[in-house]
């Protein structure tokens, strides 16, 4: 059993948890989020929200995502509620239309703090500029 | 007319593309790729292409969940000018195999498509019919 090499192949998803120098914890996601891969996203976001101090900044970098189905949206929404219950926001870098459009059309964009890129995350390199 | 011919679709006319796969989630990426391609060729704007791709994915994922073991997922796309009509259908094992419309996924589907309709056939099959216009309705 070898791991798939090509993260952009339809129906595959790669997630990676990374700690920024600012202290923020960020999950990088690339591939397609649908009913097959939503459980992997769920697992990654659960780890993100469980592993870090509950007052830490948490974010999800979705620029590498080429498709987002309602099953994936549901996972993101659940994570946003969970973060809110911990007293913090879930920060998202939506990236392209494949993620931004589903968030916008369902009105779920209001549940997240959206960023163009990670540099505007609280505590990030350029976050002094308000 | 080439090998593709209208097959008694409502409204008649239009070009028809039919895709038939095993009713498994692993093949839905192929079907949504067909949806994107047809929408792009029909001059749908980028938001409408994205909406149709997601709506078709949602319809197919919903149906695969209730399909009887070993059955096929049949997807028929009809392009009528600036509207694409999609009918997706699977065979079901009996009347207990129903699609619930009281779900987050169904609400998303209703938001994405201009019209959505659930069609059951006495427990033998379940279909989802949806329409999408080339220009997204302002929200």
Residues A67 and A101: their CA atoms lie apart, in Å, by 10
Asked if the model's pLDDT at residue A13 lies above 80, the reply is yes
Q: How far is B13 from chain A (nearest CA, A)?
A: 31
Domain of B82 in residue numbering reads as 16-133
Give the DSSP per-residue string, A67-88. EE-HHHHHHHHHHHHHHHHTT-
pLDDT in tens, B28-41: 999 999 999 999 99
CATH of the domain at A107: 3.30.750.24
Question: Residue B100 falls within a domain, yes or no?
Answer: yes
- Stretch B117-127: mean pLDDT: 92
Domain count, chain A: 1
A100 in helix, strand or coil?
A: helix
Hey, is the C-beta of B61 within 8 angstroms of any chain A C-beta?
Answer: yes
Q: How would you label A4-14 residue by residue, b for 16+ Cβ within 10 Å and e otherwise? A: eeeeeebbbbb
B47 in helix, strand or coil?
A: helix
Question: Residue A64 falls within a domain, yes or no?
Answer: yes
pLDDT of residue A5: 45
Q: Do A74 and B104 touch (CB under 8 A)?
A: yes
- Stretch A55-82: mean pLDDT: 95
User: For residue B109, which residues of chain A lie inside 8 Å, CB to CB?
Assistant: 70
Q: Which chain B residue has its CA at the smallest distance from A102's CA?
A: B51
Q: How far is B108 from chain A (nearest CA, A)?
A: 7
Count of other CB atoms within 10 angstroms of residue A101:
23
B12 in helix, strand or coil?
A: coil
User: For residue A97, which residues of chain B lie inside 8 Å, CB to CB?
Assistant: 46-47, 50
Q: Which chain B residue has its CA at the smallest distance from A9's CA?
A: B29
User: For residue A70, which residues of chain B lie inside 8 Å, CB to CB?
Assistant: 54, 58, 104-105, 108-109
Hey, is the C-beta of B28 within 8 angstroms of any chain A C-beta?
Answer: yes
Mean pLDDT of chain B: 89
B14 in helix, strand or coil?
A: coil
Torsion sign across C-alpha atoms B47, B48, B54, B57: negative
pLDDT of residue A9: 62
Quickly state the pLDDT bin for A4 (edges 50, 70, 90).
Answer: very low
Reading the block at residue B125, the tokens are 């099959």
Q: Do residues A95 and A65 touch, judged by C-beta distance below 8 A? A: yes
Residues B124 and B9: their CA atoms lie apart, in Å, by 20
Quickly state the pLDDT bin for B137 (edges 50, 70, 90).
Answer: low
Question: Residue B7 falls within a domain, yes or no?
Answer: no
Interface probe with A: pick from B26, B57, B114, B128, most Cβ of A within 10 Å = B57
CATH of the domain at B29: 3.30.565.10
Asked if the model's pLDDT at residue B87 lies above 50, the reply is yes
pLDDT in tens, A84-93: 999 999 999 9
User: For residue A101, which residues of chain B lie inside 8 Å, CB to CB?
Assistant: 47, 50-51, 54
Interface probe with B: pick from A9, A35, A103, most Cβ of B within 10 Å = A35
Q: Do B26 and A36 touch (CB under 8 A)?
A: yes
Question: Residue B5 falls within a domain, yes or no?
Answer: no
Residues B31 and B18: their CA atoms lie apart, in Å, by 10
Q: How would you label B29-43 residue by residue, b for 16+ Cβ within 10 Å and e otherwise? A: bebbebbbebbeebe
Q: What Å distances lie between residue A85 and A78, A112, B10, B69, CA to CA?
A: 11, 13, 49, 41
A38 in helix, strand or coil?
A: helix
Which of A10, A35, A68 faces B61 most closely, judged by CB atoms?
Answer: A35
pLDDT of residue A10: 63
Q: Do residues B7 and B16 touch, judged by C-beta distance below 8 A? A: yes
Question: Residue A62 falls within a domain, yes or no?
Answer: yes
Question: Residue B11 falls within a domain, yes or no?
Answer: no
Secondary element (H or E) of residue A14: strand A13-19
Question: Residue B85 falls within a domain, yes or no?
Answer: yes
Domain of A59 in residue numbering reads as 13-118
User: For residue A35, which residues of chain B lie inside 8 Å, CB to CB?
Assistant: 25, 28, 61, 64
Domain count, chain B: 1
Question: Residue B37 falls within a domain, yes or no?
Answer: yes
pLDDT of residue B136: 59
């Amino acid at each position: 059993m070898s791991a798939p090499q090509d993260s952009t192949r339809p129906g595959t998803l790669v997630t990676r948890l990374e700690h920024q120098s600012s202290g923020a914890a960020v999950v990088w996601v690339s591939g397609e989020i649908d009913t097959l891969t939503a459980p992997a996203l769920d697992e990654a976001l659960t780890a993100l929200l469980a592993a870090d101090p509950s007052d830490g900044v948490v974010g999800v970098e979705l620029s590498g995502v080429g498709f987002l189905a309602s099953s994936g949206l549901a996972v993101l929404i659940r994570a946003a509620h969970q973060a809110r219950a911990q007293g913090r926001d879930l920060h998202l870098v939506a990236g392209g239309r494949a993620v931004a459009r589903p968030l916008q059309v369902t009105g779920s964009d209001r549940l997240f703090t959206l960023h163009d890129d990670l540099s505007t995350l609280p505590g990030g390199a350029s976050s002094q500029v308000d | 007319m080439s090998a593709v011919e209208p097959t008694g679709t409502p409204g008649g006319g239009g070009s028809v593309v039919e895709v038939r796969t095993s009713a498994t989630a692993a093949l839905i990426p192929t079907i949504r790729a067909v949806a994107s391609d047809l929408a792009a060729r029909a001059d749908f704007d980028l938001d409408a292409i994205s909406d149709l791709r997601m709506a078709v994915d949602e319809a197919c994922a919903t149906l695969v969940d209730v399909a009887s073991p070993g059955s096929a997922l049949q997807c028929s796309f009809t392009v009528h000018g600036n509207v694409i009509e999609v009918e997706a259908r699977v065979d079901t094992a009996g009347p207990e195999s129903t699609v619930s419309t009281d779900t987050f996924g169904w609400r998303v589907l209703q938001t994405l498509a201009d019209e959505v309709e659930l069609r059951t056939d006495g427990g033998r099959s379940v279909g989802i019919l949806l329409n999408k216009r080339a220009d997204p309705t302002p929200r």
